[in-house]
Amino acid sequence: MKKITCALGIVLALPLVQPALSLADAGGMLSTPHGEKVHFVDPQGNGDILVIEESDVGGSALARVESGLGREASPSEIFWALSAPGSEIPKNMKDGQSSEKAQGWARERSKRDGLTEMVNVACDNASFTGSIAGGFLSGAPFTRLDKKPATYNAFVGTIYVPDMPPLLKPTYSYTANFVGAKKWRGKVCARQVAGSPGFPYNLTVSFEKSTTAHLGWEPMTSSDGQESSWYIPDGATKVYTWAWNTNSESNYRILIGGAEANDEFDIMADKSPN
């Protein structure tokens, strides 16, 4: 994200084109024929791979992999299941190769795959809360459904000058912190309401980790500088699904930024200290 300061001293955050991760870094980014994008990130540089999927409402590549295996899948198993047949397997992903299932076996959707239609705010609540990548870790996952900045006061508004043009109209941010976790997983369904005036691609969903610098939090970033942050186009609904098992306990958070009053969100996440 590039930040510029206008003449009035107001800081604007402008999106940059995000490069794909290099395969040498952690596994890179895989796309399925249905537009699902699965990112493999090593934020701590220790080989503990964070897997994040970006998809439209209607299907999940991670769900297909775990359904096909009947259990939680490792990052290398996910890479094998979703990479195109015959494509190169990075050296840190080779232990996921299977003699029983062909490379790319989960790239295609079945007729029964996918979420139900959007009948609630953002995503269908029953489908959204019915499963989580890697399986639930507790009996009480963090769940927030049908939330909008206009009606949910956990969203924090930005400074607004009433006479400013629509480009600088008020936006809102939201954070959900998860402290002391070795396992962290969940999903966010975010809808950028169509026709909202203002700067396009402003709504973002990001994943951050605690740090002693940058006011205590910083983006989860791979060694090539790729941040775990996504921009949602006007009128689009995106689902972000993630799973991470680490060897060291740390603190993580979901950050929603640039939301407008009627944008819509569903959030569910679970953690474990073991």
Q: Model confidence over 130-150: pLDDT tens digits?
A: 888 888 998 899 999 999 999
Q: Are 221 and 167 within 8 A, CB to CB?
A: no
**Which of 54-68, 110-124, 193-207 ranks highest by mean pLDDT?**
54-68
Q: What's the domain range around 247?
A: 2-100+113-272
Is residue 105 included in any domain, yes or no? no
- At 38, the amino acid letter reads V
Tell whether 108 is covered by a domain: no
Q: Does the residue 106 lie in any domain?
A: no
- The 10 Å Cβ neighbour count of residue 47 is 11
* Total structural domains within the chain: 1
Query: Minimum mean pLDDT among 35-49, 72-86, 161-175, 179-193: which range?
Result: 161-175
**Residue 107 counted as domain residue:** no
Within-domain flag for 208: yes
CA distances from 220 to 41, 59, 125, 210 (A): 8, 25, 28, 9
CA distance 155 to 160: 15
> Residue 250 gets which letter from DSSP?
E
pLDDT at 224: 60
Q: What is the mean pLDDT of residues 84-104?
A: 84
155 alpha carbon, distance to own chain's centre: 19
* Rg of the chain (C-alpha set): 19
User: Which range, 4-18, 100-114, 239-253, is most confident?
Assistant: 239-253
- Residue given tokens 């000058």 in the structure block: 161
Q: Which residues on neighbouring strands pair with residue 189, listed in sequence order?
A: 239, 266
| pLDDT over 70, % of the chain | 75
Domain membership flag for residue 267:
yes
How many CB atoms within 10 Å of residue 90?
Answer: 17
Instruction: Please tell me the pTM assigned to this model.
Output: 0.78
Burial of residue 109 (CB within 10 Å: 0-12, 13-18, 19+) is middle
Residue 253 lies in a domain: yes
pLDDT in the model for residue 218: 83
Q: Are 121 and 237 in contact (CB under 8 A)?
A: no
75 DSSP 8-state letter = H
